[in-house]
Each structure stands twice: as structure tokens, then as C-alpha cells.
Amino acid sequence: MDGSFASPERPGGVCAFAPNRSAALERCDRVDPKRYAATRNHLQGAVSGLSPYITHGLITIPEVLDRIASRHSLGWQDKFVFELGWREYFHHAWRHLAEAIWQPARRLSAPASAYRPELPEDVTRATTGVPAVDRSILQLYRTGYLHNHQRMWLASYLVHLRKIDWRAGARWMYAHLFDGDLASNTLSWQWVAGSWTGKPYLFNAENVAKYAPRGWPGARNAGTAIDRRYDELERIAASTFDVGPERRPIAPSPCEEPELFTLPPPEAPLRTADEADLAHARWVIHPWSMFVPALNPEEAVGVIVTDFHAAHPWSAARWNWVLSALSPVTRGVLVGSREALVAVLAPRAARLGGVETLNPFYRDVIASLGQRLAPPRAFPDPERLHRSFSSFWHAISKGPFPI
């Protein structure tokens, strides 16, 4: 793994994801599909760290594929291509389901009443006493990034062992991730909870030891709630039992969950757009499409649609990251409700364009503009909803590889 972004013990607050497109291109050029396939499940594997850039549209999936294919041969069978396919699959499902991504697609393993609607303090303060869990929470707060395995471990522990409603877990993780993407995050939580496929994802201490680097303080979990056989974990997952925090005082120093904001925090780098900026604008940039080829930043204004963030708040670190990326590519940013923004943009809609998005409220603001581009996809988006990734992949990979 590229140690510059994923070392779990980096000192607090260091942001290793430079908030610009050049950093995305550099990360892309470092991807080695063979090394990726051999190591991606390990916390120190050669993963790309591209997710914040892909989520926020600083680079698109077709561009990632093109750029990597210029150095390596790529095809349907490549693990890296397959993982990009997961992202497009989740967006395919989101297009069909919209807000229904928050409804469990199937029954959960325990009765619905077993799951509590809020995270307990030992989880938000990283003092569960399970080292793999606490270290991952600290990393999430400090860096805004987690390896896929850590996300699966956290989600599985919270839902199956601590009986936390997967939706509460999904909202919490989304708020702190720099790459928080409503489709990938919400549906991955459903996947771990077992309501997407019908099979809960479970892990144990042995699994952590296999994929974590030896020196990582979260690697050894002997004697904790996750130090169990899979048949025992299955029984707990299907019951109403919450294993609770560990009794032994082995927690690392407790931390406070970083505050969440429904509006840009006061210190965030934000220049508000004014009438003159609007008069020059021909394009509206939003946080999920921050790079538009051949667009002069002098002709772009940014938007922050407050109704969205009221429903999905972000940590100050995520706000700062997004606004640091947004400010240089726009003349200024408009912050307002969906209604207020549509009212400001509507009289100028004929000469304004934007990239469509499925993110609620942003979707409506972009829909009010005269020119709209579909967000670029690498793979086809089938008309019928595929309820499983394998069915989706089977259907699309019958066609020619897109590059």
C-alpha cells in the first residue's frame, strides 16, 4: 500500500490526499494492476487511494481506465477493473432505487427490533476495546480514509456484534470519509449487513491477523469479541445479543468524534460568488463533478446545496478538502437551499450547464439548467435493475471491453 495515505498511525490531521486533479493523475499513474491483484486485500497492499478523487469527480472512471491502459494491458478479468465495476454497479442500483437504497433489500439476520438506532459512545470514542475496531475508527477520524477491509470489519462488528442499525453506521462512516459516496457506502453497509445478498459478512481475529501488517497496533485481537469461530459469530449475528465493549481496559487513548457540519464550517476556504461571477458563468460545478475538460474556471461557479448537507453532514476535514478542491476551479461558490439556488440560476439557465448527479437536491439544481451532461461511465448501465453484482457483471462483460 502507498504508505503516504494509509498508514493507520499517521499523526492527527495530516491530509495526504492533495485536493487537486494532479494528485489524482499521479495516483493513477502509480497503479500496477498485477501488484494490485496480488495484494489488494492487505492493509498495506498496492491499492490506489483514488476514491476521494473519483467520488468528487476530479477524475472519472473512463479516464482512470484509459490512463492505466496506456501503460498496462487491461481486460474484463483484471481485479482492478472489477473493483471499478463495483462502483459503477452501485451507481446503477442507485439510479433505479433512488432513496430506496436506504430500505433493506432483504431480511436481516436478526429480528429488526434487535438493532439500535444510534452508535454507543464506546464506538464513537474508539474505546470498544477491540484493537482492530478502535484503531480503524481513529484512522477514519484522522485521515478520512480506510482500506476496504477495515470498512468491512467496522461495519460487520457494529451491525452483527453490537447490533447497531446498519443505516446509523452508514451515516456515521459517510460523514467522515473523504470518499463518502451515498451509493457505494449505503449499499456496502447493506452488503455487510446481509440485506443485499441475504448473507451477512463476518470476520474474526484470525482474518485481521492475516491482512493487517504485523506492527499495526490493531493487528492482535486475542481474547476479544472477534476472537471466535465463524459458527459462533453466525449464531451471535442471528440473535438479539450485543456483545458490548470489552471489559479489559485495553483501549487506546479515547478520542472525541470530530464535529459534523451541515454548512461549510467558518474556517473552510470558501469565496462566495456574487452577481459579477454569475454574469460571467456558463457552467455550474458541484462537489461530485469538479473537473470538466476545457472549462475555464473563470466561467464556472460552484454550488453547495444546503438541503443535502442537512440530511448528510460532513466533518470539517471533509468540508475543507472539498472546498479546497472546488475553490480553484470556480470564480466563487453559491451556498443555498435547492429552492433558493434554482431561483437564482433559473433566469440564467439558458446559458448555464452542469453535470448531472444522483445526489438528492443537487440533482434538482442541475436539472434546472439549460445544458446537462450525463456523468461519464466506463461500463454500460443496463435498463433493468440487477439485484446482484455478479448478474450485472455477467450481463455487461458479454460486450466488448470499453477501451
Ligand X SMILES: Cc1cc2nc3c(=O)[nH]c(=O)nc-3n(C[C@H](O)[C@H](O)[C@H](O)COP(=O)(O)OP(=O)(O)OC[C@H]3O[C@@H](n4cnc5c(N)ncnc54)[C@H](O)[C@@H]3O)c2cc1C
Residues in touch with ligand X (CB under 6 A):
40, 47-51, 54-55, 83-84, 86-87, 90, 147-148, 151-152, 155, 173-174, 177, 179-181, 184-185, 188-189, 192
CA angle 386, 391, 393 (to 5 degrees): 105
Judged by CB, which is closer to ligand X: 1, or 333? 1
Calpha distance 128→120 (Å, rounded): 9
Q: What is the 3-state secondary structure (H, E, C) of 311-332?
A: HCCEEHHHHHHHHHHHHHHCCC
How near is the Cβ of 94 to ligand X at its closest, in Å?
11
How near is the Cβ of 200 to ligand X at its closest, in Å?
13
Calpha distance 114→279 (Å, rounded): 55
Judged by CB, which is closer to ligand X: 155, or 334? 155
How near is the Cβ of 386 to ligand X at its closest, in Å?
15
| C-alpha cell of residue 343 | 431561483
Judged by CB, which is closer to ligand X: 189, or 203? 189
Judged by CB, which is closer to ligand X: 183, or 300? 183
Gyration radius of the chain's alpha carbons: 21
How near is the Cβ of 185 to ligand X at its closest, in Å?
3
**Inter-residue contact 152 to 192 (CB < 8 Å):** yes
- Residues facing residue 335 across a β-bridge: 304
Which residues contact residue 276 at a Cβ distance below 8 angstroms, ignoring those fewer than 6 apart? none
Judged by CB, which is closer to ligand X: 56, or 331? 56
| C-alpha cell of residue 198 | 441475504
Calpha distance 104→193 (Å, rounded): 9
